[in-house]
Chain A
Amino acid sequence: MNGCPILEMERISKSFPGVRALNQVSLKAFPGEVHVLLGENGAGKSTLMKILTGACLGDSGRILVRGRPVEIGTPRQALDLGISMVYQEPSLALHLSVAENIFLGREVLRGRSLGIIDRKALVRETGKILGTLGLSFSPKTPARDLSMAQRQMVEIAKALSAGSSIIILDEPTAALSEQEIKQLFRVIRELKRSGIAFIYISHRLEEIAGIGDRATVLRDGEAVGTVPASTPMDTLIRMMVGRKVEELFPRAEAPKGEELLRVENLGRKKILQGISFSVYAGEILGLAGLVGSGRTELARAVFGADPRDSGRIFVRGRPVQIASPADAIANGIGYLSEDRKLVSLALSMSVRANVTLASLEDYCLGPFLSRQKEYRAVGRFIRELAIKPPHPERKVKFLSGGNQQKVVVARWLATRARVLFFDEPAAGVDVGAKGEIFQLISRMVAQGGAAVLISSYLPELLAVCDRILVMCRGRIARELSRGEATQEEILYYSAVGS
């Protein structure tokens, strides 16, 4: 942390109509530093980063790069100053190769003005960059064949090859498994040594001490303070929300009841093998495992969204046929998918339309919609789930991540499903809303339902689950009870199998 800061943002303010997004926020980053940016959704992190990357203009304040004041009006100018952003969801051209992606827009040309791409040079240069990052895949691999983690690495490689010295990582670990996170951190540490500065946005507080140097906490558009990243987690959380950490995952104990769902010997070619398990009323069952171990695929197969080759499903002891999501819903099974925006929500539609989507027949008279019934039900869900803003006609694309997730939860509660699969329900959701969502799950379970929780975030699973099934390569490697489950245990079985 010696020497001159590579980046200084001084007293940045920004107002949107009717709301002050940033108020006199300052931030300094040094070469070789991982500077963590903390704050709940809406605290101003993304606005600050948008100003830094030229995606929007600040109202006042100034930015200095290597001590020189700069104007950043467009994303291009930010790139030219060596500032790159790696988004939470990597935005690669999936049909192009790794090499083509890395050099997209900066292709190495043969014969200057002819516009012919020098493929060999592209592959060679890419190979060098991948080598320095310790990545083993070929520059010719199509991007669609890469895992989420690998795509993220390619984004970082892209930033490096563009000569960036300030790299912003937006929730880089949100979609990664523990294994992949380790790999990512190794790469970050490697790059720190060569003087790259990282601005690291994350909701996962416990990983901050491991990777960060300093942390700046934002709350309501103001910088609360900059502290060492090793600051205890509950102090950081207090700075963010003014609330204690134990309150985050409240869990009402419910007695284990009857068997609601039993899956026997479920299989799908190359993806799932011989899966059997039961879910009981009043319990939260965790599904742990690395990304790609088959957790999502299992949930989707039970729900009828993906095909199965074998397996029988019993609901409350009776065998049932589930060939489509409609069958699953009719049998009281629901599935909240992993990627809200892509798979769950009709973003351009209202909260009301999204909440009633899976149970619309309940709000109809013949083929006609009954607005009255809809409003009554949606109003109740908005109150019970504290969806904000509390307006049934608001389009969901204008809601924060946490509130969008609540809308999806409301949709499934409206189907009166007794068994709900939650696939990464807390991904990209801020700390406050996370607590609320787990509270909702607990409440639903306490009322005689059951939840199956898929999460890559182990502390979450350990805090809320009664039992945890650890999956590895399409099989259930091990069942762990609440008492015996520890992070080490889960990691061991996810990696090694049974």
Chain B
Amino acid sequence: MAEDHDLENTPGKRLQALSDLARRLVSFFSLVLMALVLSILSPYFLTLENLFAIGLQMSVIAIMAIGQMMIIIAAGIDLSVGSVLALSGVVCTSLLAGGVPVASALSAGIGVGVLCGLLNGVLVSRGRIPPFIATLGTMGMARGAALIISGGAGIQLLELPGAFTFLGGGRLFSVVPVPVIITVVLALAGHGILKYTRMGRYTYAIGSNREAVRLSGVNIHRYLTMIYTFCGLLCGLAGVILASRLRSGQPTAGTGWELDVIAACVIGGASLSGGEGTILGAIIGALIMGVLRNGCNLLDISAFWQQVAIGAIIVVAVYIDQYRHAR
């Protein structure tokens, strides 16, 4: 028998558990460390105003990262998030410009996101197209559609309904930006789904061993479709929030953001081979990027160096992860 495999309650086991915990907290501590350094370097950093500015800036990326994280946990990837964000913003604002009521225009914008997610899900599951390719296709189609609908230029709104601008520009108790609140609520929902529902369990299981899940009688197609559709929903929501903040529909909005979103997930501990990751990680990942950008701005470091720094952080985060796995 394998008694000698039982390392329970030995110092080694505890050490392993401790280092596992340390790894999980590494991104959190880096965030705290960055904040600490910045608050020393710039007195403005640690003001409520600035912190909410970071939150507001990152909320759109963070919302999409919640959906992306689920897809990555299921061993997939969604490259279309930035384009879907633009399309839903354009659809929503063009309807508003045409005099459609706010509620309907918002629903349509979000609905377009859901449809794009559904398309991704069906292509990936039933169509058996690798996620990278399928969502690359959707990325092109959604961006193209956004440009067609808007005629290539931004859709400017002459009249701005209050309910619409509140979504991206409003503040709760005239302090907390609405997008930040939406992000927190969605993060809690995403965390709940992953941790406490059957769908969450299957998400991890599909990413860990898809064939095992299939042979356990689970309808993989259905769950994969649900996961991609959920991500589409979040992108649609992020799209209308961004449109509200920009007070216009920009067909080129979110260009290249898919990479920011994926970076947030990876910095937050996702493994691109699937099976690993948490929503909290995605949020911390997004915050690390936000704090870094904010810090560079406060310290007058050029935007070009910001890109170098974020690139380096991604590499370091994955390197730490690889090191942990190699042991």
Instruction: Using CB atoms and an 8 Å cutoff, list the residues of chain A in contact with chain B.
Output: 16-19, 40-43, 220-221, 303, 305, 324-330, 335, 337, 342-349, 353, 357-358, 360-361, 364, 367-369, 388-389, 391, 399-400, 402-403, 411, 415, 430, 432-433, 436
Contact with B209, one of A41, A345, A364, A415 (Cβ below 8 angstroms): A345
Quick check: B205 and A430 within 8 Å, CB to CB?
no
Q: Select from chain A the residue with minimum beta-carbon distance to B200.
A: A369
24 CB contacts below 8 A, A to B, read A17-B7, A17-B10, A17-B12, A17-B16, A18-B10, A18-B11, A18-B12, A40-B2, A41-B5, A42-B2, A305-B215, A325-B214, A326-B219, A335-B215, A344-B209, A346-B209, A347-B209, A353-B201, A358-B216, A369-B198, A389-B5, A399-B2, A403-B2, A432-B1
CB of B285 within 8 A of chain A? Answer: no
Q: Select from chain B the residue with minimum beta-carbon distance to A344.
A: B212
Which A residues touch B212, using CB under 8 A? 343-346, 357
Quick check: A305 and B2 within 8 Å, CB to CB?
no
Quick check: B211 and A369 within 8 Å, CB to CB?
no
Which B residues touch A361, using CB under 8 A? 198
Quick check: B216 and A369 within 8 Å, CB to CB?
no
Which A residues touch B214, using CB under 8 A? 305, 325
Contact with B216, one of A221, A357, A364 (Cβ below 8 angstroms): A357
CB of B13 within 8 A of chain A? Answer: yes
Which residues between 195 and 237 of chain B lie within 8 Å of chain A, taking CB atoms? 196-202, 204-205, 208-209, 211-219
Quick check: B198 and A364 within 8 Å, CB to CB?
yes
Interface size class of B (residues with CB under 8 A): 35 or more
A337 to B196, CA, bound (A): 29
Quick check: B4 and A42 within 8 Å, CB to CB?
yes
Which B residues touch A325, using CB under 8 A? 214-217
Which B residues touch A327, using CB under 8 A? 217
Q: How far is the CB of B104 from chain A (nearest CB, A)?
A: 29
A140 to B274, CA, bound (A): 35
A82 to B51, CA, bound (A): 62
Which B residues touch A399, using CB under 8 A? 2, 5
Q: Select from chain B the residue with minimum beta-carbon distance to A324.
A: B217
**A329-B216, A348-B276 given; 5 more Cβ-contact pairs under 8 Å:** A19-B4, A346-B208, A357-B205, A389-B5, A433-B2
Main secondary structure of the interface of B (DSSP, over half): helix
Quick check: B6 and A389 within 8 Å, CB to CB?
yes
Q: How far is the CB of A462 from chain B (nearest CB, A)?
A: 25
A328 to B4, CA, bound (A): 38
B141-168 Cβ-contact flags toward A at 8 Å (1 or 0): 0000000000000000000000000000
Which B residues touch A348, using CB under 8 A? 208, 275-276
Which B residues touch A411, using CB under 8 A? 216
Given known pairs A305-B214, A325-B214, the reply for A19 and B10 (CB within 8 Å) is yes
Q: How far is the CB of A15 from chain B (nearest CB, A)?
A: 9
Q: Select from chain B the residue with minimum beta-carbon distance to A400.
A: B2
Sort A-B residue pairs by CB-CB distance and give the 3 closest, nearest first: A17-B12, A18-B10, A18-B12
Which A residues touch B11, using CB under 8 A? 17-18
CB of B8 within 8 A of chain A? Answer: yes
Which A residues touch B276, using CB under 8 A? 348
Quick check: B2 and A430 within 8 Å, CB to CB?
yes
Which A residues touch B16, using CB under 8 A? 17
B1-33 Cβ-contact flags toward A at 8 Å (1 or 0): 111111110111101100000000000000000
Contact with A389, one of B8, B199, B201, B275 (Cβ below 8 angstroms): B8
A432 to B4, CA, bound (A): 13
A118 to B275, CA, bound (A): 42
Which A residues touch B219, using CB under 8 A? 324, 326
Q: How far is the CB of A475 from chain B (nearest CB, A)?
A: 25
